[in-house]
A and B are shown apart, each in its own frame.
Chain A
Amino acid sequence: MPALALVDTRHEYDHLGEIYLAIAAAVFAIVVLFIIFNAVRGRFRALDAASRTHENNPVELGYAVFLAGVVAALLWLTFSTEHRVDTVSLHEKPYTTIDVTASQWEWSFYYPQGGITHFSGFHGRQPLVVPTNEPVRFNLYSRDVIHAFWVPYLRFKRDLIQGAREVVVLDFDRPGLYPGRCSQYCGLHHAEMVFNVRAISPARYEAWLRSGGRAAV
């Protein structure tokens, strides 16, 4: 398995998010300081002493060009991240495939290799079981309205829409229990449409599949 090529959505999000957040914080601080400093300084100026300068088009034009550079840099960062998350990940050879079908208001997880179907949501409480550090391919389906498959730990979600299959390949970097939920409003019991992800080592995952999904996880 090409362990180095694994696309870790959480890592990608955190990395890009840090850059965006740092820029946003700096911009916020600078702009607010400029606004408050100039307003307060103006408070101590006599009413008839206000400057009459009201235009500087060359500076504004230069500023617009600078902003265009910022846009280009942000888009370059975003597009290269998105390429890994959306395209590179799909080219990984999946270790296992799980069919996720959403309906009002239940998730069904079908594991073709073990012939297992489990449920979570309004009635069921069975976790989605996945192997760690291996690409897991999810086929996402909806039986009725639009739902969204969201695992906050992975910083990733995708819509499930009736009439189409969405394919995503995700990686869980360490064992654990992670909450997941529907994040597209889907009607009366939307709040109940929750599940847990149980990530276990590939060896335990194999054993779990062989047990027909009955082994404890």
Chain B
Amino acid sequence: MSTATTPSALTPPLRTPGFVGALISTDHKRIGLNLGIMSLIFFLVGGIFALIMRSQLYEPNNSVVSDNTYNQLFTMHGSTMIYLFVTPMALALATYLVPLQIGSPRISLPRFTLAGFWVWLSGGLIMQSGWFTSDGAGRAGWSAYAPLSNGQRTPGVGMDLWVIGAGLAVLGMLMIGWAVTVTILRRRAPGMALLRMPVFTWTALVSVLMVVGAFPVLVFAMALLYANRMGVAIFQGFTGAIDWQDLFWFFGHPVVYVMFFPYLGCAAEAIAAGAHKRWFGYKAFVASMMAFAALSMSVWGHHMFITGGVVNEYFAFSSTMLIIPAGIEYFDCIGTLWGSSARFRVAMLFGLGFFIQFLIGGLSGIWVASPTLDYNSYGDYIVIAHFHYTLFAGSVFGFFAGVYHWFPKVTGARLREGLGKVHFVLLVIGTNMTFGPMFALGEEGMTRRISRYPTNPEWTTLNQIETIGAGIVALSILVFLVNVVVSLRRRVLAGDDPWQGHTLEWWTSSPPPPHNFDRPLPPIRSYAPLKDLQEQIEDAEREKQGAPA
């Protein structure tokens, strides 16, 4: 049964010790961790950009930064968060966890994965290096619409570096995504049929399928944009402008789901463990994931309702259809909690927070999927509120659910529950203070990407609530960082399986050994093999006590 069990006898790896060794290791855990740590650093950087913007918007005609700097800040905030934090962090989780969850001693194409990490990191650093050029960093928005992004309208080396950086970052993530795809298809342990893969692995699989399908388009588009900036006439006139948007959003919408599914998987795993029940409705969930992925490749035109360049009805149809798989997810979340023995550990709280807060993002997503409603909401603060409720109130909460759930596995030590609860409460308050008022501001006519707004007492109040909320978010992130430091310094040992986990990563030691499993894997007969074992033990005990199983 267990071919993946005695790997240390197969190939004793050549290891370079120390810091350099950590940077060139082909162990998927090391690559995943490096990718995750770098993404987290970019998260802090992007967060600082956001805090500067929120300070500028504290007053209607503030002058914390110039218009030019503000434009760079929102461009780099969006670019940093999307190209350098939420997406790569999703892949970092997949790189670290997928081989463990499918019972594999390693990732496929390990050197290719490592190269992908370095390509991505180079892209990120190149993009950020724009700050140190005389024209400043990229300033055409994270979506770099043509013709604004051409060499005449946005000249400068910083913008060139942005184009190259974004292209390389996406290329690196494409490489990692490909390696994860191959790993899932080729390296599952005996018994691990596709329909026995854990919930998180399924969410990772649909994500990397979309990476493989959509990311090449952006790499190609960035190459074309670079040529366009160098004077080759590519994105010209009306069709050129629409062509860019088609190419960009063919990447740009699927990436939204890459930034969503793995965090949904984190929340699901955290809730299943916290509820002491296996995830409900596995088959329906898998089917909904596949439907989600298929639909999300065909909704990009809903970013273009007001251009007059797409068939609005088609994209309204495909986008509104997302209600069906999303409804199944929520059904399965409630099904898991139904009849559960829920315990409110921090990972569980973040998992529940993910589902509840993401719902606001999801429901407002149905709103903007309607062209007539989008004619008002497009480009204003309703859209900002909508996607921050999906990406921040959703994905980031899912991310923290994953961190609190798997931190013991990765480090061997538990995060502090008390600090974690402070972190959670502050983040809930801060998030809703920051992004809730944006719905009202958008409805009243505040457009996005402006550094100054009309003097209007109500707008000023709403903006000030948002800025204070952003400060509370920053505080909560600080509490999280303190929690990490404290938990690593004064370790509370977690043991192999602190949560009575359901999946194979809890079968091995914390942190796992170089080849993941030092003992034979248990039989894999479902998507929760360890839960099967726990239930067998429970049944045996009940039988011993004479109670009916």
- CB-CB contacts below 8 Å: A41-65 with B: 42-43, 45-57, 60-61, 63-64
- CB-CB contacts below 8 Å: A139-173 with B: 144-146, 148, 150, 152-153, 155-159, 161-164, 166
Q: Which of chain A's residues has its CB closest to B322's CB?
A: A71
Contact B153 A144 (CB under 8 A): yes
Contact for B340 among A42, A81, A157, A161, CB less than 8 A: A42
1/0 per residue, CB under 8 A from A, across B241-259: the answer is 1100000000000000000
Chain A residues positioned under 8 Å from B140 (CB to CB) = 185
Contact B278 A54 (CB under 8 A): yes
Chain A residues positioned under 8 Å from B454 (CB to CB) = 179, 194
Interface membership of B238, Cβ < 8 A: yes
Contact A45 B340 (CB under 8 A): yes
Task: Known contacts A54-B279, A145-B147; decide if A166 and B308 are in contact (CB<8 Å).
Answer: yes
Task: Known contacts A52-B535, A71-B323; decide if A190 and B306 are in contact (CB<8 Å).
Answer: no
- In the assembled complex, the CB of B449 is this many whole angstroms from the nearest CB of chain A, namely 4
1/0 per residue, CB under 8 A from A, across B130-150: the answer is 000000000011000101100
Chain B residues positioned under 8 Å from A155 (CB to CB) = 375-376
Contact A47 B341 (CB under 8 A): yes
- In the assembled complex, the CB of B58 is this many whole angstroms from the nearest CB of chain A, namely 15
Chain A residues positioned under 8 Å from B334 (CB to CB) = 31, 34-35, 38
CA distance A162 to B327 in the complex (A): 41
Contact B241 A146 (CB under 8 A): yes
1/0 per residue, CB under 8 A from A, across B428-458: the answer is 0000000000000000110111111110000
Chain A residues positioned under 8 Å from B145 (CB to CB) = 145-146, 184-185
- In the assembled complex, the CB of B67 is this many whole angstroms from the nearest CB of chain A, namely 6
Contact B366 A24 (CB under 8 A): yes
Interface membership of B24, Cβ < 8 A: no
CA distance A146 to B450 in the complex (A): 16
- CB-CB contacts below 8 Å: B212-256 with A: 236-242
Contact for A189 among B67, B281, B338, B445, CB less than 8 A: B67
CA distance A56 to B372 in the complex (A): 37
CA distance A153 to B376 in the complex (A): 9
Interface membership of A183, Cβ < 8 A: yes
Contact for B356 among A32, A158, A190, CB less than 8 A: A32
Contact B342 A42 (CB under 8 A): yes
Chain B residues positioned under 8 Å from A43 (CB to CB) = 342-344
Contact B340 A55 (CB under 8 A): no
Contact B341 A45 (CB under 8 A): yes
1/0 per residue, CB under 8 A from A, across B272-292: the answer is 000111111111100000000
- In the assembled complex, the CB of B65 is this many whole angstroms from the nearest CB of chain A, namely 12
Interface membership of A27, Cβ < 8 A: yes
Contact B312 A82 (CB under 8 A): yes
Compute the total of residue contacts between A and B using a CB distance below 8 Å.
252
- In the assembled complex, the CB of B323 is this many whole angstroms from the nearest CB of chain A, namely 5
Interface centre among A61, A104, A146, A164 (most CB of B within 10 A): A146
Contact B339 A42 (CB under 8 A): yes
Interface membership of A75, Cβ < 8 A: yes
Task: Known contacts A42-B342, A189-B67; decide if A71 and B375 are in contact (CB<8 Å).
Answer: no
- CB-CB contacts below 8 Å: B347-377 with A: 352, 355-356, 359-360, 363-364, 366-367, 370-373, 375-376
Task: Known contacts A50-B339, A185-B145; decide if A81 and B372 are in contact (CB<8 Å).
Answer: yes
Chain B residues positioned under 8 Å from A95 (CB to CB) = none
Contact A28 B241 (CB under 8 A): no
Interface membership of B34, Cβ < 8 A: no
Interface centre among B275, B280, B341 (most CB of A within 10 A): B341
Interface membership of A112, Cβ < 8 A: no
| Listed stretches B15-23, B313-321, B414-422; interface member | B313-321
CA distance A63 to B330 in the complex (A): 11
CA distance A192 to B535 in the complex (A): 66
Chain B residues positioned under 8 Å from A38 (CB to CB) = 334, 337-340, 342
Chain B residues positioned under 8 Å from A191 (CB to CB) = 67, 450-453
Contact B154 A187 (CB under 8 A): yes
Q: Which of chain A's residues has its CB closest to B538's CB?
A: A48
Q: Which of chain A's residues has its CB closest to B307's CB?
A: A159
Task: Known contacts A74-B370, A78-B372, A191-B67; decide if A159 and B306 are in contact (CB<8 Å).
Answer: yes
Contact B277 A50 (CB under 8 A): yes
Interface membership of B201, Cβ < 8 A: no
Task: Known contacts A35-B355, A49-B341, A67-B327; decide if A13 and B372 are in contact (CB<8 Å).
Answer: yes
Chain B residues positioned under 8 Å from A12 (CB to CB) = 372
Contact B339 A187 (CB under 8 A): no
Task: Known contacts A42-B342, A166-B308; decide if A75 and B317 are in contact (CB<8 Å).
Answer: yes
Interface membership of B333, Cβ < 8 A: yes
Chain A residues positioned under 8 Å from B277 (CB to CB) = 50-52, 54
- In the assembled complex, the CB of A36 is this many whole angstroms from the nearest CB of chain B, namely 8
Contact for B283 among A27, A57, A162, CB less than 8 A: A57
Interface membership of A70, Cβ < 8 A: yes
Interface membership of A17, Cβ < 8 A: yes
Contact A188 B71 (CB under 8 A): yes
Chain B residues positioned under 8 Å from A61 (CB to CB) = 284
Chain A residues positioned under 8 Å from B323 (CB to CB) = 67, 70-71, 74
Interface contacts beyond A60-B332, A74-B370: sample of 9 additional A-B pairs, CB < 8 Å, sorted by A:
A31-B330, A38-B340, A42-B342, A50-B275, A67-B328, A71-B321, A145-B148, A146-B147, A189-B67
Residues on B facing A (Cβ under 8 Å): 67-68, 71, 140-141, 145, 147-148, 153-154, 236-242, 275-284, 306-309, 312-313, 316-317, 320-321, 323-324, 327-328, 330-344, 352, 355-356, 359-360, 363-364, 366-367, 370-373, 375-376, 378-380, 444-445, 447-454, 535, 538
